[in-house]
Chains A and B, each alone.
Chain A
Amino acid sequence: MILVYDGSFENFLNLVYEVYYKKLKPTQILKQKPLTLLVDEIYVCEKREDEALKVYEAIKKHFSKQNFEKILNIFMCDEIAFEMDLLNFIILGFKSQESLQDINERFVFKLNSYEKQLFSNVHRMTGFLRFVELEDGALYAKLESKFNLLYFLGKHFSKRFNNQTYYIHDIERSLVFIHSREFTGVRELSSFELPTLSEDEEKFQKLWQKFFKSVTIESRKNEKLQRNVVPLLYRTYMNEFIT
């Protein structure tokens, strides 16, 4: 049986509910109804807030803090098909929290490695994200990633840019993290036009590019190593790589 849900955390909780109460045996979980004709039976999980809440409370009660956070983190890996593994994880977790430590279990190991990928992406982005200064002194950064990093990055920068107003804009997901005197948190963004840059912006970009070029040691040149440590994927908005 193929289960279909809308990709949201709430709707996944509905899916867990249905699996328990209707004793469903899914072979696959999809975010969208498949377009091609399949032999398998398809079941679409509907949104019911009260049932989702019930599952949420049950998970919060039975799962350790670490395992509960893992479930939330996995939802930030939104381009990975993690659903079957996560469902198995939740089912096993209700039986025994201790068994969730067994990394010999495939789905436990896989979820751990998704989480590891997520955190390594967060860590890289804390270094590779680039802000520009706007006319009013606020800072603005564009973000593109296979993972939903906004929450983690917002938290990271709210410490170091505590007295600054800044925006981190996730282009693909149309989300923005805002940190200002009035509001700190994630908002959806329908349309967006980049405001005017500050007068000094060009000067500091140019200084950075000069610096980047002149700290390179020619006799140690190793561009393959450079590609391993800053994959091309990350370079889109890093101005030292834009010529």
Chain B
Amino acid sequence: MKKDIYTKMEILSDSAKYDVSCSSSGSDSNYKTGELGDTHKSGICHTFTADGRCVSLLKVLLTNYCLYDCAYCINRVSNDIPRAAFSPRELADITINFYKRNYIEGLFLSSGIIESEDHTTELMLRVLKILRQEYRFNGYIHVKLIPGASAELIEEVTKLASRVSSNIELPSNKSLALLAPNKTKESILQPLKLARDITLERDNKPIAMSTQLIVGASPESDFDILKLSSVLYDKALLKRVYYSAYIPVNETKNLPALTTTPPLLREHRLYQADWLLRFYGFSYDEILSSDMPNLDESVDPKTLWALNNLHLFPIEINKASKEELIRIPGIGVRSAFKIIKARRFRRLKLEDLSALKISVKRARYFILCDGKFQKEVPLYRDEIHTALTAPKTMKDKRQTQMNLFDVSGITGEL
């Protein structure tokens, strides 16, 4: 039966929604006079769904028919779900029309595997060519590469896309063998390595690439995950790793039950740690170790690091370098710049920080302001940890007492 375009849209966007990546950032402005479309360095969110996630790109599958049978995936061949496919022209037209109404920054194109990896990639290329060559569209296009596609096709894709990705999904080969029997870590990394080498040779700089790791579907620790991310960043393979709290969509004996709630707080802490790797000059083994393999859900990773390295504190904010300042819990890059700017004119006291709208909620336990240290809480790990995680007001306290037998209050789960 032929489906109308609205039904197709419903099916194919629903199938694509578990991909976390939706960023449109990292590309310099590239508009051309007399043409359509531009990219914005910082990326632009065009709306936010009811789950609070940013919508920047039209994220759809070209088709959700698929040959593969990955245990965690909603579109696996053994699932009995409605299937649909856009024609390349149909999808290109929707993209252009959404773009002109300012609904989106561009297209996030992914697909189930039909017939073969090469055939699927050729169909995706057709969409890209209509957009880039026929409509002269310069907006953002993210393409999810199909593992196993030929080098020639991947080369063509990298010429037309703004960013490409391939999802590793499971952080170890063992988990992959168990849950995604058609994939191996090598087969997933293959298109990324190809894309990097091709673009490095052709344009002297690798195309921006990203991947996604599922958190909570398999037994890997936060240490394993951060180590993997860190290696991928170091090899200049990836610009971004996304973490996706596992949402059960299939009943399988090897996966958490369908009723399991996604570990959203763990996902959040991993993102914070990832930020520390990319923007704060931390290495993964400073944050975690094989002796302490998991992040503390009750405090952010930087605070966790600081509590384990109290010998480096307190830090005098009037003297510390930018690199030292951004290692203070609660002080971000912006606050560090404000401090550096303001202390040129006077020695800063604690109240000066508040006046500059710098939050000292966490930082106050770790800093000296003009030689002064706050007095209430001594510089000991447990004391500061307690002070940071204690309920703030009487109302909070009452609630905690009432919910004493509710486990979520103790474990800190959301």
Task: Identify the A interface with B (CB < 8 A).
Answer: 101-104, 106, 109, 113, 123, 126-133, 139, 141, 157, 159-164, 200, 203-208, 210-223, 225-226, 228-230, 238, 240
> Which residues of the partner chain A approach B149 to less than 8 Å between Cβ atoms?
none
A211 with B48: CB separation less than 8 A: no
Interface residues of B (CB under 8 A from A): 5-6, 9-10, 13-14, 16-18, 29, 31-38, 40, 42, 44-56, 58-60, 94, 97-98, 100-103, 139, 245, 247, 261-262, 264, 338, 341-342, 344-346, 352, 355-357
Contacts of A223 in B (CB 8 A): 50, 52
CB <8 Å contact, A240 and B31:
no
Cβ-defined contact, B17 with A216, below 8 A: yes
Contact of A128 among B31, B47, B247 (CB under 8 A): B47
Knowing that A103-B341, A214-B14, A217-B49 touch, tell me 9 more A-B residue pairs with CB under 8 angstroms.
Answer: A104-B345, A104-B352, A130-B103, A162-B31, A163-B34, A220-B51, A221-B50, A222-B51, A222-B52
Query: Which of B6, B100, B102 makes the CB contact (< 8 A) with A129?
Result: B102
Which 5 pairs show the lowest CB-CB distances between chains A and B? A225-B52, A160-B38, A220-B51, A159-B31, A216-B49
- Residue numbers in A under 8 Å from B94 (CB-CB): 204, 207
CB pair A162 B36 closer than 8 Å: yes
Is B55 in contact with A123, judged by CB distance below 8 angstroms?
no
Please give me the residue from chain B that is nearest to A200 by CB atom.
B97
Q: A103-B341, A207-B5 are in contact. Are A220 and B262 (CB under 8 A)?
A: yes
* B36 touching A164, Cβ below 8 Å: yes
Contact between B17 and A215, CB atoms less than 8 A apart: yes
- Given A160-B38, A220-B51, the answer on whether A204 and B264 have CB atoms closer than 8 Å is no
* Distance between Cα atoms of A225 and B52 in the complex (Å): 5
Q: Which residue of B lies closest to A205 (CB)?
A: B101
**Residues on the B chain within 8 Å of A163, using CB:** 34-36
B98 near A109 with CB under 8 A, answer: no
A sample of 22 inter-chain contacts (CB < 8 A) reads A103-B356, A126-B44, A127-B45, A130-B102, A132-B101, A141-B102, A163-B34, A164-B36, A200-B97, A204-B97, A204-B98, A208-B98, A215-B17, A216-B49, A219-B247, A219-B261, A220-B247, A225-B51, A229-B48, A229-B52, A230-B47, A240-B47
B10 / chain A contacts, CB cutoff of 8 Å: 210, 213-214
Q: Which one, A101, A157, A212, contacts B49 given CB within 8 A?
A: A212
Our pick among B33, B50, B59 for the contact of A162 (Cβ within 8 Å) is B33
- Chain B: interface secondary structure? loop
| Neighbouring B residues of A132 by C-beta, 8 Å | 101
Whether A131 and B101, one on each chain, are in contact in the complex, defined by CB atoms closer than 8 angstroms, is: yes
Q: Given the interface contacts A141-B102, A214-B9, does A104 sit within 8 Å of B50 by beta carbon? A: no
Q: A127-B44, A216-B50 are in contact. Are A103 and B103 (CB under 8 A)?
A: no
Is B48 within 8 A of A226, CB to CB? Answer: yes
CA distance A214 to B10 in the complex (A): 6
Complex CA–CA separation, A163 to B137 (angstroms): 11
CB of A226 within 8 A of CB of B35, answer: no
**In the complex with contacts A139-B100, A161-B36, A210-B6, A216-B51 CB distance below 8 A:** yes
Q: Which B residues touch A211, using CB under 8 A? A: 9, 13, 58, 60
Task: Known A123-B44, A221-B50; judge A162-B55 contact (CB<8 A).
Answer: no
CB neighbours (8 Å) of A204 from chain B are 94, 97-98, 101
Measured CA separation A236–B247 after assembly (Å): 33
Residues of A within 8 A of B341 (CB): 101, 103
A127 to chain B, nearest CB (A): 5
Which residues of chain A are within 8 angstroms of B59 by Cβ–Cβ distance? Answer: 215
Q: Determine how close the nearest CB of chain B comes to the CB of A64; give it in whole angstroms.
A: 15
Q: How far is the CB of A162 from chain B (nearest CB, A)?
A: 6
Please give, as numbers and ranges, the residues of chain B lying within 8 Å of A128 by CB-CB distance: 46-47
Which residue of A has the minimal Cβ distance to B47?
Answer: A240
Contact pick for A103, options B31, B35, B36, B338, CB 8 Å: B338
Q: Is the beta-carbon distance between B100 and A238 smaller than 8 angstroms?
A: no
Residues of B within 8 A of A238 (CB): 47
> How far apart are the CA atoms of A139 and B36 in the complex, in Å?
13
Most chain B C-beta atoms within 10 Å of own C-beta, residue among A160, A200, A210: A160
Which chain A residues border B50 with CB–CB below 8 Å? 216, 221-223, 226
For the complex, give the distance between the alpha carbons of A101 and B18 in Å: 46
Task: Name the A residues within 8 Å of B355 (CB-CB).
Answer: 104, 106, 109
**Please, how many angstroms separate the alpha-carbon atoms of A154 and B119 in the complex?**
42
A126, A216, A218: most-surrounded residue (chain B CB, <10 A):
A216
Smallest Cβ distance from B139 to chain A, in angstroms? 7
Give complex CA distance A127, B99 in Å.
Answer: 11
Closest CB in chain B relative to A171 CB, distance in Å: 17
- Nearest B residue to A218 by beta-carbon distance? B51
CA A90 to CA B391, docked complex, whole Å: 46
Expressed in whole angstroms, the Cα–Cα distance for A211 and B101 within the complex equals 14
Q: For A230, what are the chain B residues with a Cβ–Cβ distance below 8 Å?
A: 47-48
- B residues in contact with A101, CB < 8 Å: 341, 344-345
Contact A212 B98, beta carbon cutoff 8 Å: no
Chain B, residue nearest A223 (CB): B50
Nearest CB to that of B56 among chain A residues? A127
Report the minimum CB–CB distance from B92 to chain A (whole Å): 14
Partner of A133, one of B17, B40, B46, B100: B100
Contacts of A205 in B (CB 8 A): 101
Complex contacts, B38 vs chain A, CB 8 Å: 159-160, 162
**Residues of B contacting A206 in the complex (Cβ-Cβ under 8 angstroms):** 6
Is A212 in contact with B55, judged by CB distance below 8 angstroms? yes
Residues of A within 8 A of B101 (CB): 130-133, 139, 204-205, 208
With A and B bound together, what is the CA distance between A200 and B96 in angstroms? 13
| Residues of chain B contacted by A217 (CB below 8 angstroms) | 17-18, 49, 51, 53, 247
* Cβ contacts under 8 Å, B33 to chain A: 162
Task: Determine how close the nearest CB of chain B comes to the CB of A94; give it in whole angstroms.
Answer: 19
CB distance from B62 to the nearest CB of A (A): 15
| Shortest distance between the CB of A89 and any CB in chain B (Å) | 16
CB distance from A166 to the nearest CB of B (A): 9
